[in-house]
A and B are shown apart, each in its own frame.
Chain A
Amino acid sequence: MPYLDYAATTPMEPEAIVAMEPLLAGAFGNPSGAHATARAAKTALEEARERVALALGARPEEIVFTGGGTEADNLAVKGAARAARAAGLGDGVVTTAFEHKGVLAACDRLEREGFQVTQAPVTAGGLIDLEALAAALDDETVVVSVMLVNNEVGTIQPLGEVAELVRARAPRAVLHTDAVQAVPWLDVAHETAAADLVAVSAHKFGGPKGVGALVRRRAVALEPLVEGGGQEWGLRSGTSNVAGVVGMATALQIVGERRDREVARVRDLRDRLAAGLAAHLPGSFFNGEPSKRIAGNCHVGFPGVEAEALLVLLDQAGVCASAGSSCTSGATEPSHVLAAMGLRRRDALASIRLSLGYRSTDADVDEALVVITKAVTQLAPLSATA
């Protein structure tokens, strides 16, 4: 049963599950306490922090554990913007038109609070338009948020060039990057070295759901979203999810160790999948600049086919895939990412995302090719001529 929705979420790494178990039953203490059970939990929490810091190229005191990627994005964007305005630095916020909703909705909130928000456009290939970004930056800009890897089309953004532009044109700005989709595929420590804030989410790389982290370099000023007991350097109060962060740290370590090998293996699978679809279904088109994509992403469209109907046929045949941005209702919403890339609405609604990961196999690709070809042919007999 081919699971081709790794960009939505991943199965947990077995080692991460094993690592979490002792924290759920045995060392169940509240790490803020002052007794042996609490100390055991505190030790596990801080060891996890050290491992996460190491993997992300940060110091332990630069790691803020959160309840996931969206929360990390919100803390970064809203927290940095509000703190900067309170310090009188300015009120400009610059992002891109195809960020994850965790960033875009946070920017919308800031706009309602009176911030000046600019969304830089992206190219047809799904890369940030650097000239437009440069034009949007000025002395009043306090936050710039540009994702490292797009969650739908998988394109890798030139974060180093973005950072140079920010330093040159917006010296007061903090640079945040949503690296949620990057972890299994890129050396995030290296790629995000120039960013002040970096958001990651455990369940995208074999960790548990509901756990994430924000890297906060150079003690960038942040206004907290959740206040209370002062955990996580006062930036995210609430009793720590000890088992969750231990699971995240374990998964992060494992994907780091095997990254080179896995990226090459999954890239071959993805390329074979894409080539097979192009051969069997000659009308198919691919979204996102091919040379700038992470290894696990294949975003493909079939003219004359409604993605929403296609996903039903794929599901009935046991193939898990997705289209557009997922919505809590389960409805397929038209993709703001593809719209930002200038794709025609009917092409956007004909596109699906196939995303591979660490358990993907040759057999998955073989089966997916058969199922997708059959389903597309059923829905649009004329567009499939092979």
Chain B
Amino acid sequence: MTAPAPARVLVAMSGGVDSSVAAALLRDAGHDVTGVTLKLWGGESDSGCCSAADVEDARRVAAQLDIPHYVFNFADEFEAKIVDQYVDAHAAGETPNPCVECNRSIKFGRLLERAEALGFQYVATGHHARVRCHADGRYQLLRGVDSAKDQSYVLYMLGQRELRRTLLPVGELTKPEVRAHAARLGLRTATKAESMDVCFIKRGGRAQFLADRLEARPGPIVDEAGTVVGRHRGVATFTVGQRRGLGVAAGQRRYVLGVDAPSATVTIGRREELLRDGVDVRELCFVAEPPAAAATVTVQSRAHGRPVPGRLEGKRVRFDALQPRIAPGQVVALYDGDALLGGGIAA
């Protein structure tokens, strides 16, 4: 999406190549651009300062582009709204997506508010998705041009209020084009590796992170008939649909069918038993309006998952063909072609 230049734009710069190029494109389009890096994690254990290397990359790119750069410390909100909720959701047997909650509460919540208070007309990020404004003034979010890098799924919560003030310039480019542009400008982030996984989980991985914060709740592993077939050491790390690491010897492949946190029971079974004709969703929200009751939509339930056809019926998304059960806590995003319609959280 292009905004009439020159607009005052605050670019969230993570220190990665996408947001570096976003800042460069906006500056070169004639906008009055300011960069900001968010300090979200890295408490006292990190010697009281942020993960300095990423901030330094962002700062150096900003200096190279000759734009001002600031660091906002949103660590309090991040801990309360992202990390604590992530831990609580796992404790409840769900599989949360913290990047989605960070977009909702931090980047398109707290940051957008602060940008507005500081007099910026737009917030820009390096997400691979496209914002479009129609003649009637309504905004739309489209998948990024590079379908392999599309991030519209983690932006499912953006409504008119947010989209009106959001610029996503790299969604118009493929990832190789982004890197080529960064290389052409000589940006130090041009060949930087992509960030993977959850940003606040470093050494030790998810299991260790949760083990440090939750009391281990061992319990039974049962089959669909309720027969105990094994024991597990903690209920919090199981995900519906998971196949590996069940620690149960069986003739056939077994999948996690359900996680019951109160009784610490993990139910497993064959793939056929995992299949469902739909999923109930909560916290439904829409980019503009809900799709018509009978309209066919495509349903995506993982960040890079294959979309499948279905329909929205009230608060239930019904699949045209049976699908493996979607883990509670995951985002269920609805599309019409490339256009995001909205979505919710799998119950």
Asked if A26 CB lies within 8 Å of chain B CBs, one says: no
- The answer, yes or no, to whether A385 is at the interface (CB within 8 Å) is no
Other-chain contact of A329, B55, B68, B117 (Cβ < 8 Å): B55
User: Is A313 an interface residue, CB under 8 A from the partner?
Assistant: yes
Bound-complex Cα distance A249 to B347 (A): 70
- The interface bits of chain A over 79-104 (1 if a CB of B lies within 8 angstroms of the residue's CB, else 0) are 00000000000000000000001000
Contact check, A333 vs B71: say whether CB atoms are below 8 A apart: no
Q: Indicate which residue in A101, A332, A379 contacts B117 across the interface (CB closer than 8 Å).
A: A379
Identify the stretch in B46-54, B91-99, B211-219, B325-333 within 8 Å (CB) of chain A at 4 or more residues.
B46-54
Q: Tell me the complex Cα distance, A75–B70, Å.
A: 34
**A-chain residues with CB within 8 Å of residue B50 when the two chains form the complex:** 327, 329, 331
B70-A329 in contact (CB<8A): no
Q: Smallest Cβ distance from B246 to chain A, in angstroms?
A: 42
Q: Give the contacts of A327-386 with B (CB-CB under 8 A).
A: 327-333, 378-379
Residue A316 CB within 8 A of the other chain: yes
A306-B114, A378-B119 are known contacts. Are A316 and B52 too (CB-CB below 8 A)?
no
- Whether the Cβ atoms of B68 and A315 lie closer than 8 Å is yes
CA distance A378 to B71 in the complex (A): 20
B-contacting residues, A307-326, CB 8 Å: 308-309, 312-313, 315-316
Whether B59 pairs with A330 at a CB distance below 8 angstroms is yes
B73 proximal to A (CB < 8 A)? yes
Minimum CB–CB distance from A310 to chain B (whole Å) comes to 10
> How far is B114's CA from A329's CA once the two chains are assembled, in angstroms?
20
How far is it, in angstroms, between the C-alpha of A101 and the C-alpha of B44 when the chains are bound? 13
Is B196's CB within 8 Å of the partner chain A? no
Say if the beta carbon of B209 comes within 8 Å of chain A.
no
Decide yes or no: A333 and B117 within 8 Å by CB, A316-B68, A327-B49 being known contacts: no
A374 to B37, CA, bound (A): 25
- CB of B318 within 8 A of chain A? no
Contact of A327 among B48, B69, B114 (CB under 8 A): B48
Q: If the complex has contacts A328-B49, A331-B50, are A308 and B117 also in contact, measured as CB distance less than 8 A?
A: no
Residue contact A329 to B39, C-beta cutoff 8 Å: yes
Chain B nearest Cβ from A381, distance in angstroms = 10
By a CB distance below 8 angstroms, the chain A residues around B73 are 308, 331-333
Q: How far, in whole Å, are A213 and B274 apart by their CA atoms in the complex?
A: 71
Q: Which residue of B lies closest to A316 (CB)?
A: B68
**Which residue on chain A has the smallest CB distance to residue B55?**
A329
Contact of B71 among A306, A315, A316, A331 (CB under 8 A): A331
A306 to B55, CA, bound (A): 21
Query: A309, B71: Cβ atoms under 8 Å?
Result: no
Q: Tell whether, in the assembled complex, residue A312 and residue B118 are in contact, meaning their CB atoms are under 8 Å apart.
A: yes
Interface residue from A313, A330, A333, A378 paired with B48 (Cβ < 8 Å): A333
Q: Chain B 53-90, CB within 8 Å of chain A: the 1/0 string?
A: 00100010000000011111100000000000000000
Chain B contact-residue range equals: 10 to 19
Interface residues of B in 271-314 (CB under 8 A from A): none
Q: Which residues in B have their C-beta under 8 angstroms from that of A309? A: 114, 117-118
Cα distance, A293 to B119, chains bound together (Å): 35
Shortest beta-carbon distance, B284 to chain A, in Å? 32
Which of B70, B114, B117 meets A330, CB within 8 Å? B70
Write out the residue numbers on chain B whose beta carbons fall within 8 Å of the beta carbon of A329: 39, 49-50, 52, 55, 71
Residues of A within 8 A of B69 (CB): 330
Q: From the candidates B52, B70, B114, B118, name the one contacting A328 in the complex (CB within 8 A).
A: B52
From 93 to 148 in chain B, residues with beta carbon under 8 angstroms from any chain A beta carbon are 114, 117-119
CA distance A122 to B51 in the complex (A): 32
**Is A308 touching B68 in the complex (CB atoms < 8 A)?**
no
Chain A contacts of B118 at CB under 8 A?
309, 312-313
Decide: B70 and A312 in contact? CB cutoff 8 A.
yes
Q: Chain B residues with Cβ under 8 A from A379's Cβ?
A: 117
Is B72 a contact partner of A308 (Cβ separation < 8 A)?
A: yes
> Shortest Cβ distance from A303 into chain B, in angstroms?
15
User: What is the minimal beta-carbon distance from B292 to any residue of chain A, in angstroms?
Assistant: 43
Q: Are A331 and B49 in contact (CB under 8 A)?
A: yes
* Chain B residues, CB < 8 A from A315: 68, 70
Q: Which residue of B lies closest to A375 (CB)?
A: B118
Q: How far is the CB of B266 from chain A (nearest CB, A)?
A: 41
Q: Measured between alpha carbons, how far is A101 from B48 in the docked complex, in Å? A: 11
A101 CA to B52 CA, complexed, in Å = 18
Instruction: Give the chain B neighbours of A306 by CB distance below 8 A.
Output: 114
Within the complex, the shortest CB–CB distance from B298 to chain A, in Å, comes to 41
A113, chain B: closest CB distance, angstroms: 18
Chain B residues, CB < 8 A from A333: 48-49, 73
Give the nearest-CB partner of B56 in chain A.
Answer: A329
Please name all residues of chain B whose beta carbon is closer than 8 Å to the beta carbon of A332 when the two chains form the complex.
71, 73
A313, A331, A332, A333: most-surrounded residue (chain B CB, <10 A): A331
Separation of A315 and B119 alpha carbons in the complex (Å): 14
Bound-state Cα–Cα, A332 to B72, Å: 7
Bound together, the chains give a CA A29 to CA B25 distance in angstroms of 51
Residues of A contacting B114 in the complex (Cβ-Cβ under 8 angstroms) = 306, 309
Query: CB-CB < 8 A to A316: which residues of B?
Result: 68
> What residues on A are CB-neighbors of B70 within 8 Å?
312, 315, 330
In the bound complex, CA of A312 to CA of B36 (Å): 10
Chain B minimum-CB-distance residue to A327: B49
Residues of B within 8 A of A313 (CB): 118
Expressed in whole angstroms, the Cα–Cα distance for A333 and B46 within the complex equals: 13
Inter-chain CA distance A327–B47, complex, in Å, is: 10
Residue of A nearest to B53 (CB): A329
Query: Which residues of A in the span 2-48 have a Cβ within 8 Å of any Cβ on B?
Result: none
B119: chain A residues at CB < 8 Å are 378
- Chain B residue at minimal CB-CB distance from A379: B117
Q: Please, how many angstroms separate the alpha-carbon atoms of A309 and B74 in the complex?
A: 12
- 23 A-B pairs in the complex with CB atoms less than 8 angstroms apart: A101-B48, A306-B114, A308-B72, A309-B114, A309-B118, A312-B70, A312-B118, A313-B118, A316-B68, A329-B39, A329-B50, A329-B55, A329-B71, A331-B50, A331-B55, A331-B71, A331-B73, A332-B71, A332-B73, A333-B73, A378-B117, A378-B119, A379-B117
- Starting from the known contacts A329-B55, A331-B39, 14 additional A-B residue pairs (CB-CB under 8 Å) come to A101-B48, A309-B117, A309-B118, A327-B49, A327-B50, A329-B39, A330-B55, A331-B55, A331-B71, A331-B72, A331-B73, A332-B71, A333-B49, A378-B117
Nearest 3 interchain pairs by C-beta: A329-B50, A331-B39, A330-B71
What residues of chain B have their CB less than 8 Å away from a CB belonging to chain A?
Answer: 39, 48-50, 52, 55, 59, 68-73, 114, 117-119
